[in-house]
A and B are shown apart, each in its own frame.
Chain A
């Protein structure tokens, strides 16, 4: 179970590479046994943040605390953190067994809780075999790492990190190179491993689905800033700004104006909503998930439109529906997910219930202001 203790804490971390600032004043804390995912598009700074936690990069300013103690200057080999690298980084000159035993071999017998060299060897064998079992790779000890498939290499990389019994495991897009089916399997296995071992996982990915499946907590990043932190459901249902809404799942994002509490106007139409606390007539972003738009009879909807395309997506149909605001053919295209198909050219009505309309403050600059603070964390 996640404990309420702050294991790792980042305070005002900034990172510059030459003239480009890749991290802006990041505050974040990570609790013991938490599975936290840093999620964002490539170049958002998530990997840099991970590398700072791992000790491979120094923050340009700010602090990294581990159990309340500053560890900014401590090199990676002195941290109780291990990493699973994006492309596995297995040592090709060593076989599977020696790869996993690599970190243990560097330790003294005392550090492994035994006295003699012989006992150390036995202890290492015991731990390596336990790991092989955990990652379901028993019997591969003597294999060369070159002879393994991508998925198998990944398992060895995970075993090699976990065998050192780190308090925190960092994973940098570890499943990125695997095919879809294998990725899904590994997601579940990783999650199970994390729960079984009870250690903290910090996971980096750009795959929102992966993040939603595995994480206790998600930190959505963009432009070197944390945009929102929360549990998966909270992030999905209540995105704090248009970027998060768009990045987590698909969204229709519309310019709107807040007329008063619980009333918003967009597409020349007034809608009931459940958002309060905005200024009167404040311009806002309105976010509506494709599955939250209901298709109704052509004249009973809040908006009317014509179906322009239909794609079958396996469990639902994705339809692009152009509304009629601004004259014929000038309207905006809405992405709608529905289990019933409407043929192209059909005129339909669209209805949205108030709690499915998400109102967000307009981002002030292009690279979105941080809307969320660390204190927002729930769960």
Chain B
């Protein structure tokens, strides 16, 4: 019986190791290649930071980095405010109205990214709004906000409903009660939501691709480079983006634990 258990454990372990290998080998290889002297993927000719240096010398990539960060920061800021207020408002609503809004929030999450992208593009083109980082920001707010909303809502539901009333009872006006009691109480949810939104924004390719023309973000650069064929600068860029996203996720994770991811 014991031997049986040990064997089954070993089997399970091997299986999981294989799955992990499948998931990580490409990433590890890519990170390794970003430090490879040779342009060829086939041989290792020595360690170098050249590709990283090149990366930071590229005007195009630096511009894309700026666009990516600008879009992510603005979109996160706006969607955090709108999403938090939205959650507070929905929490105070009767269930019928709130259900309508919750379903509305699921819409961008269930619509395929490509359809969301082209639909926004159609609207901007129709309204003769030039496709730039500003349209990209508007699109990002639209898909970021539900993440904020769904991070804040559970915190509101967990909150003792009497807290708001207690604040009123002790002399707060409704506005003051919101700022002094509700927002501090749900702040963990707000921060998690903001971090998620920021990650989503940094990470997005499909929707950005369709909603911006003149300004490119990093993911768009990766795409156009990949279509031309593989080049080591992109490995360096990918490695950096990978590290950035990981760092952000660790932050989110530490806050909310895996179950809330």
Contacts and interface: CB of A to CB of B under 8 A. Distances in A.
Interface stretch (A99-107, A253-261, A298-306, A308-316): A99-107
Interface in B76-110: none
Given A106-B176, A107-B171, A91 B181 contact: yes
A82 interface: yes
A87 B185 contact: no
Interface residues of B: mostly helix, strand, loop or mixed?
helix
Nearest to A51: B165
A222 interface: no
Contacts of A7: none
A106 B175 CA distance: 13
Given A89-B160, A91-B185, A83 B166 contact: yes
Contacts of B42: none
B172 A106 contact: yes
B171 A87 contact: no
Contacts of B181: 91
A76 interface: yes
A73 to B, nearest CB: 14
Chain B: number of interface residues, binned into ranges: 10 to 19
A102 B181 CA distance: 10
A81 B170 CA distance: 9
Interface in A95-114: 102-103, 106-107
Given A86-B162, A91-B185, A54 B171 contact: no
A56 B181 CA distance: 17
Contacts of A355: none
Nearest to A163: B170
B27 to A, nearest CB: 40
Contacts of B170: 77, 82, 102-103, 106, 160-161, 164
Most B CB atoms within 10 A — which of A88, A89, A107?
Answer: A89
Interface in A11-27: none
Contacts of B160: 85, 87-89
Contacts of A81: 169
Contacts of A364: none
Contact of B165 (A56, A91, A107): A56
Contacts of A118: none
Interface in B147-192: 160, 162-163, 165-174, 176, 180-181, 184-185, 187
A93 interface: yes
B165 A89 contact: yes
Interface string B47-79: 000000000000000000000000000000000
Interface of B: 160, 162-163, 165-174, 176, 180-181, 184-185, 187
5 contacts: A77-B172, A81-B169, A83-B165, A88-B160, A160-B170
